[in-house]
Amino acid sequence: MAKGDEFEVDPAALRAAAGHLDEQADEVAAHGETLGAQTTGRVGRGAIGEVVESAVRRGIGIVANDVSRAVRKFYADAAAVMRRAAAETERTDSDARSAFDEVGADRPRAAPPAEPKFSSPEVAGAWRSGIDTRAGRAYYTLDENEMRAFARALPPFSGEYTVDMHGTPDHVTFGSTSFDASQLSELVRADGKWNSRPVRLFSCRTGQGDRPIAQELANHLGVEVTAPTELVWSNHGGDFFVAPGTWRTIGETKVFVPGPQPAGGGWRTLGPEPAGAGDEKAG
């Protein structure tokens, strides 16, 4: 074990970094940015330290920038290797170096699969900016960090896969780009966590009117889609409800806030229609 100025790797810091990587395996991607911020303290210095440091930073880079399950698995593996490296560092630095060579060697084998094919660069861009949440997946731009935080706070709907993004009765929006049901169905299919479960659209008014986007999405995916008939709200603690917006006076100003909740709760479940029904062919 190295001592004093020769001490090049801090096993405790290394274990802490490993812990960050695998303790929250399911939420690693969702918490990517936070993790990056929490784990950027140095874990070592000197020649061996640099090897460890670069491996840890490479890991944080992947966590912050990628969200696939393959990467999460890689992360669990990498964390195990880091723990082993920490233990070995307490014996010899050269063992630490060889342990970290394994991190590098693991990466190509566990690299994420090729990105799914999308019909347009806009859909592909939305997919890449999406974040995994407890409930499913959320699509907000990088500067919408609050919307992402709200989406992460939302609990899963039992047995359902939730898509969280800005909505209207006939389209959903990512940044300044609108997507129709067909494009939205690409985002659902691209996510290996969907598993053909019924879909919950946590997306305002996507179940409103005669033929909302929720119906078209159900036709495209062949599963039931549950969507709000009015605005859908959620708070910092993950509580949610459906309610139309209404103008109220708060203090000295008019504010557009949730009004009374509709009878029946405001959620509507739409099943796939037989081919040929409605305006559009079922997908």
CB 277, min distance to another protein, A: 28
CB 181, min distance to another protein, A: 17
CB 167, min distance to another protein, A: 6
Q: Tokens representing 163? A: 């898509």
Q: Which is nearer to another protein, 129 or 234 (CB)?
A: 234
Q: Which is nearer to another protein, 47 or 255 (CB)?
A: 255
CB 234, min distance to another protein, A: 6
User: What are the backbone angles phi and psi of residue 281, rounded to the nearest 5°?
Assistant: -65, 140
Spatial separation of the C-alpha atoms in residues 123 and 139, rounded to whole Å = 11
CB 245, min distance to another protein, A: 7
Q: Which residues bind another protein (CB under 8 A)?
A: 144, 146-147, 149-150, 164-168, 173, 202-205, 231-236, 245-248, 250-260
Q: Which is nearer to another protein, 159 or 260 (CB)?
A: 260
**What distance separates the 2 farthest-apart alpha carbons in the chain?**
77
Q: How far is CA 115 from CA 35, 152, 192, in A?
A: 24, 23, 12
Q: Which is nearer to another protein, 121 or 247 (CB)?
A: 247
Spatial separation of the C-alpha atoms in residues 225 and 197, rounded to whole Å = 9
Buried b (16+ CB within 10 A) or exposed e, 221-246: bebbbbbbbbbbbbeeeeebbbbbee
Q: Which is nearer to another protein, 44 or 130 (CB)?
A: 130
